[in-house]
Amino acid sequence: MKYLLSMALLLLAPQDQRLPDAFYQLPEQVREKATLIITGTYGEGRSPCIFMPDGSRRWALVSWFNVTKVYRGKVGGKSISINSAMLPKTEDVSGKLEVGHKYLVLLRPNDESMKLIKAGGHVPFWEALSDEEIIAIAELK
Protein backbone atom coordinates (compact mmCIF):
# COMPACT_ATOMS: atom_id res chain seq x y z
CA MET A 1 0.00 0.00 0.00
CA LYS A 2 2.80 2.44 0.87
CA TYR A 3 4.37 1.79 -2.54
CA LEU A 4 1.10 2.58 -4.26
CA LEU A 5 0.92 5.95 -2.49
CA SER A 6 4.54 6.75 -3.44
CA MET A 7 3.86 5.82 -7.05
CA ALA A 8 0.75 8.00 -7.15
CA LEU A 9 2.69 10.99 -5.80
CA LEU A 10 5.35 10.55 -8.47
CA LEU A 11 2.76 10.38 -11.23
CA LEU A 12 0.89 13.45 -10.00
CA ALA A 13 4.00 15.62 -9.57
CA PRO A 14 4.76 17.99 -12.45
CA GLN A 15 7.17 16.24 -14.80
CA ASP A 16 8.34 19.07 -17.07
CA GLN A 17 10.10 21.92 -15.28
CA ARG A 18 11.80 22.95 -18.51
CA LEU A 19 12.50 26.62 -18.92
CA PRO A 20 11.60 28.54 -22.09
CA ASP A 21 13.96 28.11 -25.07
CA ALA A 22 15.30 31.65 -24.54
CA PHE A 23 16.97 30.42 -21.32
CA TYR A 24 19.02 27.80 -23.17
CA GLN A 25 20.15 30.39 -25.74
CA LEU A 26 21.92 32.38 -23.01
CA PRO A 27 25.57 31.57 -22.18
CA GLU A 28 25.94 29.05 -19.35
CA GLN A 29 27.88 31.46 -17.11
CA VAL A 30 24.99 33.95 -17.39
CA ARG A 31 22.39 31.29 -16.54
CA GLU A 32 24.38 30.16 -13.49
CA LYS A 33 24.62 33.69 -12.03
CA ALA A 34 20.86 34.05 -11.61
CA THR A 35 19.38 33.31 -8.19
CA LEU A 36 15.86 34.25 -9.34
CA ILE A 37 14.38 33.25 -12.71
CA ILE A 38 10.85 34.22 -13.73
CA THR A 39 8.67 34.87 -16.72
CA GLY A 40 6.58 37.99 -16.55
CA THR A 41 4.74 40.69 -18.43
CA TYR A 42 6.44 44.08 -18.52
CA GLY A 43 4.58 47.14 -17.27
CA GLU A 44 5.28 50.84 -16.75
CA GLY A 45 3.64 53.69 -14.92
CA ARG A 46 4.48 56.73 -12.88
CA SER A 47 5.43 57.12 -9.28
CA PRO A 48 3.50 59.12 -6.73
CA CYS A 49 4.05 62.86 -7.02
CA ILE A 50 7.46 64.10 -5.90
CA PHE A 51 7.47 67.68 -4.62
CA MET A 52 10.67 69.54 -5.49
CA PRO A 53 12.28 72.26 -3.32
CA ASP A 54 11.33 74.95 -5.88
CA GLY A 55 7.63 74.00 -5.59
CA SER A 56 7.44 72.10 -8.86
CA ARG A 57 6.28 68.50 -9.08
CA ARG A 58 7.87 65.51 -10.76
CA TRP A 59 6.94 61.91 -11.37
CA ALA A 60 9.44 59.10 -11.87
CA LEU A 61 8.95 56.33 -14.40
CA VAL A 62 8.34 53.07 -12.56
CA SER A 63 8.61 49.70 -14.24
CA TRP A 64 7.95 46.13 -13.20
CA PHE A 65 7.33 42.58 -14.30
CA ASN A 66 4.02 40.97 -13.37
CA VAL A 67 5.18 37.48 -12.48
CA THR A 68 3.54 34.67 -14.44
CA LYS A 69 5.86 31.80 -13.45
CA VAL A 70 8.80 31.30 -11.09
CA TYR A 71 11.47 28.82 -12.19
CA ARG A 72 14.18 29.48 -9.60
CA GLY A 73 13.96 31.27 -6.26
CA LYS A 74 10.92 32.43 -4.35
CA VAL A 75 8.58 35.33 -5.10
CA GLY A 76 5.94 36.24 -2.54
CA GLY A 77 4.20 38.99 -4.51
CA LYS A 78 2.67 39.42 -7.95
CA SER A 79 5.32 41.74 -9.39
CA ILE A 80 8.99 42.66 -9.24
CA SER A 81 10.07 46.29 -9.64
CA ILE A 82 13.02 47.14 -11.86
CA ASN A 83 14.66 50.41 -12.81
CA SER A 84 14.41 50.34 -16.61
CA ALA A 85 16.57 53.47 -16.86
CA MET A 86 19.46 51.57 -15.27
CA LEU A 87 19.44 48.31 -17.22
CA PRO A 88 22.90 46.84 -17.76
CA LYS A 89 24.33 47.48 -21.22
CA THR A 90 24.95 43.86 -22.16
CA GLU A 91 23.79 41.72 -25.05
CA ASP A 92 21.90 39.50 -22.58
CA VAL A 93 19.45 42.30 -21.70
CA SER A 94 16.82 43.37 -24.23
CA GLY A 95 17.50 47.01 -25.06
CA LYS A 96 13.94 48.31 -25.33
CA LEU A 97 11.29 46.66 -23.17
CA GLU A 98 7.75 46.81 -24.54
CA VAL A 99 4.76 47.24 -22.24
CA GLY A 100 2.52 44.17 -22.33
CA HIS A 101 5.19 41.88 -23.79
CA LYS A 102 6.25 38.71 -21.99
CA TYR A 103 9.89 38.22 -20.95
CA LEU A 104 12.18 35.67 -19.36
CA VAL A 105 13.96 37.52 -16.54
CA LEU A 106 17.12 36.35 -14.77
CA LEU A 107 17.95 38.27 -11.61
CA ARG A 108 20.45 38.26 -8.78
CA PRO A 109 18.89 40.61 -6.19
CA ASN A 110 20.94 41.83 -3.25
CA ASP A 111 20.02 40.49 0.21
CA GLU A 112 17.67 43.36 1.12
CA SER A 113 15.80 43.21 -2.20
CA MET A 114 15.53 39.42 -1.98
CA LYS A 115 13.95 39.62 1.49
CA LEU A 116 11.29 42.01 0.14
CA ILE A 117 10.67 39.90 -2.97
CA LYS A 118 10.31 36.68 -0.95
CA ALA A 119 7.93 38.35 1.50
CA GLY A 120 5.87 39.90 -1.28
CA GLY A 121 6.69 43.35 0.04
CA HIS A 122 6.62 46.55 -1.95
CA VAL A 123 9.98 47.67 -3.32
CA PRO A 124 9.96 51.48 -3.70
CA PHE A 125 10.98 52.76 -7.14
CA TRP A 126 14.19 54.31 -5.79
CA GLU A 127 15.26 50.84 -4.61
CA ALA A 128 14.06 48.91 -7.69
CA LEU A 129 16.40 46.29 -9.13
CA SER A 130 19.03 47.68 -11.49
CA ASP A 131 22.54 47.21 -12.91
CA GLU A 132 24.28 44.11 -11.54
CA GLU A 133 21.05 42.74 -10.04
CA ILE A 134 19.63 42.24 -13.56
CA ILE A 135 21.48 39.38 -15.25
CA ALA A 136 19.43 38.87 -18.43
CA ILE A 137 16.08 39.78 -19.97
CA ALA A 138 14.92 37.97 -23.10
CA GLU A 139 11.62 38.55 -24.89
CA LEU A 140 9.46 35.45 -25.31
CA LYS A 141 7.73 34.92 -28.63
Q: How confident is the model at residue 17 (pLDDT cuts 50, 70, 90)?
A: low
CA atoms within 13 A on the CB side of 128: 20
Does residue 97 have a pLDDT over 90?
A: yes
* Structural domains in the chain, sorted by start: 23-139 (2.40.50)
**pTM (two decimals):** 0.81
Does residue 86 have a pLDDT over 70?
A: yes
Does residue 4 have a pLDDT over 60?
A: no
Closest CA to 134 of 42, 36, 22: 36
Q: What is the pLDDT of residues 21-56, one digit of tens each?
A: 999 999 999 999 999 999 999 999 998 888 999 999
